[in-house]
A and B are shown apart, each in its own frame.
Chain A
């Protein structure tokens, strides 16, 4: 037994130490750097909480938070509504069920960066050309070139990729509902719409929670698609928080400031996830 304990420790301890060195130490050193005026190289001084004060006064940082939150909320809602509809369709009695599911899942396995390049072309050339032909003047120039509409392009591109994943989660949720529940509700006279809100939706609540939390978290971290669609432009209107940390932290001489930004970013992500879990798990029901 004593030998066994030793072996178990030998199995875990090295990995825990490595994990500590490459995960926990950067976490703390990031916090440390956030209290300095480091540029990422050379000497630096300890400046207390001044970076955090600067952060709240910085209009660029503020805008990136507004953009990222707006983007994450809108995309989460759109993706979940579409996914739910598709899941209901794909789970009903249809022909070519597995082929269709396989097809719908394709966008999800592709890399966000390259998908972004493809959508970039679509928004820049194809959509305006189509709009001119039909005569919609609002779409006759690229939506990515306009500070007011560029974020919509990113929403569409990211939603195109994420819908597949959420749909599959909802489908596996729908499959947990036994058929007799529907039969019982049909006898009680519930029609399609009522049946969905009173029966289906409450019963797949745990899956709704998973999707909401994962969506929100992933979209708050959005980077790849923005890199290839707009690289943060035009006029920095689509610079997400990750993008800002990457750009200004590594090449913009704002190492310390962006470390402070990372800390705030981290707190926001944890807070939002915790809030979602608390609110959403409360309304889950058991059959």
Chain B
């Protein structure tokens, strides 16, 4: 028993050490963000030692220079609206597909059509899409949200249809007999039953949309920067103030913070849903 306990301790200690190593880059980013430029010496201590004086002045300045609240609200709007829209649209389409694909060829075709699009990388469609979106005057926030719904459709359909296939249909049948129409069945019966999948889809979309760079970069670069998301402002900031590392790191931390807080609150759920998304996808 003691040898088993010993082994258990060793593995735990090893894993804790690796865990600390993993967090070093983040620790460094936070420490630098708190320090003043005068404390940045050219050795390891300059990057990793704790600051002499704790101050949040870098953060205050970074918020001002990058117009943080503006970019953050853009990111938030895009992320939240895309997630909600993905849940509503994809669950509705998947319901129709799942209930008809065994009976009708056309729905089976719809299913494979949507799902097979998963293999098309965004960077392949990007060039023609930029032209097309500009033509429709959709090279703005609304266009970005729109494209997130389209590009997440494949994985979402796969997830929802997979889940719907395993839901017992007796409740729906009963509802139809009680005189519900299809819309009512979807709204009152199916939609609430899909709750676990809604969470998965919303979390996957949130993570993808919040952290995405390429799509907003190509869609919004023609504009005046009004709709820039947080990652985009970091890019602009980097090219202008890149040498003031303390300010830059304060700005990076600020843009990482919302998703970190989200993670701390919903940690278990996020890990579960991301795993589900991958295994079923």
Are A and B a genuine interacting pair, yes or no? yes
A residues near B (Cβ < 8 Å) are: 3-4, 7-9, 11-12, 15-16, 18-19, 22-27, 29-30, 33, 40, 86, 89-90, 92-96, 98, 100-115, 117-119, 121-122, 125-126, 129-130, 133, 160, 165, 168-169, 172, 207, 210, 214, 217, 220-221, 223-224, 227-228, 241-242, 245-246, 249-250, 255, 258-259, 262-263, 265-266, 269-270, 273
When the two chains form their complex, are residues B123 and A92 in contact, meaning their CB atoms are under 8 A apart?
A: no
The one of B119, B214, B256 that contacts A223, using a Cβ cutoff of 8 Å: B214
Closest residue of chain B to A207 (Cβ to Cβ) is B279
Quick one: given A7-B183, A210-B278, are A126 and B28 in contact (CB under 8 Å)? yes
Cα distance A172–B274 in the bound complex, in angstroms = 11
B267 to chain A, nearest CB (A): 5
A213 to chain B, nearest CB (A): 10
Quick one: given A4-B182, A207-B279, are A33 and B150 in contact (CB under 8 Å)? no
Given the complex, which residues of A lie within 8 Å of B274, measured CB to CB? 108, 165, 168
B62 to chain A, nearest CB (A): 13
Stretch at the interface among B12-20, B52-60, B191-199: B12-20
What 3 pairs across the A-B complex have the smallest Cβ distances?
A111-B211, A7-B182, A242-B123
When the two chains form their complex, are residues A103 and B278 in contact, meaning their CB atoms are under 8 A apart?
A: no
Given the complex, which residues of B lie within 8 Å of A24, measured CB to CB? 117
Closest residue of chain A to B239 (Cβ to Cβ) is A231
Residues of B136-176 whose CB lies within 8 A of A: 146-147, 150-151, 153, 176
Which of B121, B147, B249 is packed against the most chain A CB atoms within 10 Å?
Answer: B121
When the two chains form their complex, are residues B23 and A112 in contact, meaning their CB atoms are under 8 A apart?
A: no
Given the complex, which residues of A lie within 8 Å of B18, measured CB to CB? 86
Given the complex, which residues of A lie within 8 Å of B130, measured CB to CB? 250
Residues of B92-110 whose CB lies within 8 A of A: 92-93, 95-97, 99-100, 107, 110
When the two chains form their complex, are residues A100 and B146 in contact, meaning their CB atoms are under 8 A apart?
A: no
When the two chains form their complex, are residues A26 and B275 in contact, meaning their CB atoms are under 8 A apart?
A: no
Cα distance A96–B210 in the bound complex, in angstroms = 30
Contact pattern, B 108-145, Cβ under 8 Å of A = 1, otherwise 0: 00100110010111111111111110000000000000
B266 to chain A, nearest CB (A): 10
Which of B23, B125, B176 is packed against the most chain A CB atoms within 10 Å?
Answer: B125
When the two chains form their complex, are residues B127 and A258 in contact, meaning their CB atoms are under 8 A apart?
A: yes
A155 to chain B, nearest CB (A): 15
When the two chains form their complex, are residues A133 and B15 in contact, meaning their CB atoms are under 8 A apart?
A: no
When the two chains form their complex, are residues B132 and A210 in contact, meaning their CB atoms are under 8 A apart?
A: no
When the two chains form their complex, are residues B19 and A8 in contact, meaning their CB atoms are under 8 A apart?
A: no
When the two chains form their complex, are residues B207 and A246 in contact, meaning their CB atoms are under 8 A apart?
A: no
User: Which secondary structure dominates chain A's binding surface?
Assistant: helix
When the two chains form their complex, are residues B213 and A112 in contact, meaning their CB atoms are under 8 A apart?
A: yes
Confirm or deny: B89 has a beta carbon within 8 angstroms of a beta carbon on chain A: yes
Contact pattern, B 228-266, Cβ under 8 Å of A = 1, otherwise 0: 001100110010000001001100100110011001000
Quick one: given A117-B252, A246-B214, are A101 and B25 in contact (CB under 8 Å)? no
Cα distance A18–B110 in the bound complex, in angstroms = 13
Interface size on B, residues (CB 8 A): 89
The one of A7, A113, A245 that contacts B181, using a Cβ cutoff of 8 Å: A7
User: Which secondary structure dominates chain B's binding surface?
Assistant: helix
Closest residue of chain A to B267 (Cβ to Cβ) is A102
Which of A22, A107, A114, A118 is packed against the most chain B CB atoms within 10 Å?
Answer: A114
Given the complex, which residues of B lie within 8 Å of A98, measured CB to CB? 268
Closest residue of chain A to B214 (Cβ to Cβ) is A223
When the two chains form their complex, are residues A18 and B234 in contact, meaning their CB atoms are under 8 A apart?
A: no
Cα distance A145–B113 in the bound complex, in angstroms = 45
B183 to chain A, nearest CB (A): 6
When the two chains form their complex, are residues A118 and B12 in contact, meaning their CB atoms are under 8 A apart?
A: no
> Would you give 28 A-B contacts (Cβ < 8 Å), ordered by A?
A3-B182, A8-B96, A16-B110, A19-B117, A23-B120, A27-B120, A95-B9, A100-B16, A113-B211, A117-B234, A117-B238, A118-B249, A125-B46, A129-B46, A165-B274, A214-B278, A221-B122, A221-B123, A224-B211, A224-B214, A228-B238, A245-B123, A262-B124, A265-B121, A265-B124, A269-B121, A270-B119, A273-B119
Cα distance A270–B121 in the bound complex, in angstroms = 10
Cα distance A3–B184 in the bound complex, in angstroms = 13
The one of B44, B127, B249 that contacts A129, using a Cβ cutoff of 8 Å: B44
| Other A-B pairs, 16, CB within 8 Å; known A12-B110, A125-B42, A245-B124 | A7-B182, A19-B117, A90-B15, A98-B268, A101-B271, A102-B268, A103-B23, A106-B26, A111-B259, A114-B252, A121-B32, A126-B48, A160-B22, A210-B279, A217-B121, A227-B213
Which of B32, B132, B278 is packed against the most chain A CB atoms within 10 Å?
Answer: B278
When the two chains form their complex, are residues B263 and A227 in contact, meaning their CB atoms are under 8 A apart?
A: no
Which of B14, B110, B128 is packed against the most chain A CB atoms within 10 Å?
Answer: B128
When the two chains form their complex, are residues B256 and A121 in contact, meaning their CB atoms are under 8 A apart?
A: no
When the two chains form their complex, are residues B146 and A22 in contact, meaning their CB atoms are under 8 A apart?
A: yes
Given the complex, which residues of A lie within 8 Å of B207, measured CB to CB? 109
Given the complex, which residues of B lie within 8 Å of A8, measured CB to CB? 96, 99-100, 107, 182
